[in-house]
């Protein structure tokens, strides 16, 4: 069994909870300074990671490659550090957000390669 979709979904759910918790914190504190971090965490962490998981579930052969495993770790590193990096940027420390952004785009470029390579593996019926 290919556990890759589950790994992507597990991380996506975890990051969704983190993003929601940040949103609740902002609401309670009535301080929306972390809104960009909250939004990026939900988009990159929850939505993007979940979509990756759906793709690997739909095209299981694509998830069996070493590239797919590398994709998970690259995407996970970027998603986990993105929200933190943007939060640090509000304090004047941008380097983590820069590294996270580069990891996220590298993961998407690798994903594009995987999708192109395994395009014939998708069953539409």
Q: What is the pLDDT at residue 1?
A: 52
d(CA 4, CA 8): 6
- Residues 13-60 have pLDDT tens digits of 999 999 999 999 999 999 999 899 999 999 999 999 999 999 999 999
Q: Give the three-class secondary structure for 39.
A: helix
Give residue 119's pLDDT band: very low, low, confident or very high (50, 70, 90): confident
- Among 1-5, 35-39, 44-48, 89-93, the minimum mean pLDDT is found in 1-5
**41: nearest Cα among 25, 68, 23:** 23
Q: What is the pLDDT at residue 106?
A: 98
Scan for tokens 């975890």, then name that residue.
14
5, 103, 105 from 119: Cα distances, Å: 17, 24, 20
Domain assignments of the chain as residue spans, ordered by start: 4-121
Find out whether 51 and 12 touch, Cβ atoms under 8 Å: no
């Amino acid at each position: 069994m290919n556990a890759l979709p589950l790994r992507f979904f597990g991380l996506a759910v975890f990051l969704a909870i983190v993003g929601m918790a940040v949103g609740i914190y902002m609401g309670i504190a009535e301080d929306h300074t972390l809104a960009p971090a909250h939004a990026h965490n939900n988009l990159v962490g929850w939505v993007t990671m979940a979509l990756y998981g759906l793709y690997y579930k739909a095209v299981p052969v694509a998830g069996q490659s070493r590239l797919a495993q590398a994709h998970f770790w690259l995407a996970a590193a970027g998603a986990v550090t993105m929200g933190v990096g943007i939060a640090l940027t509000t304090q004047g420390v941008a380097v983590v957000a820069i590294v996270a952004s580069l990891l996220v785009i590298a993961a998407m470029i690798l994903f594009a390669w995987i999708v192109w390579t395994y395009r014939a593996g998708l069953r539409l019926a």
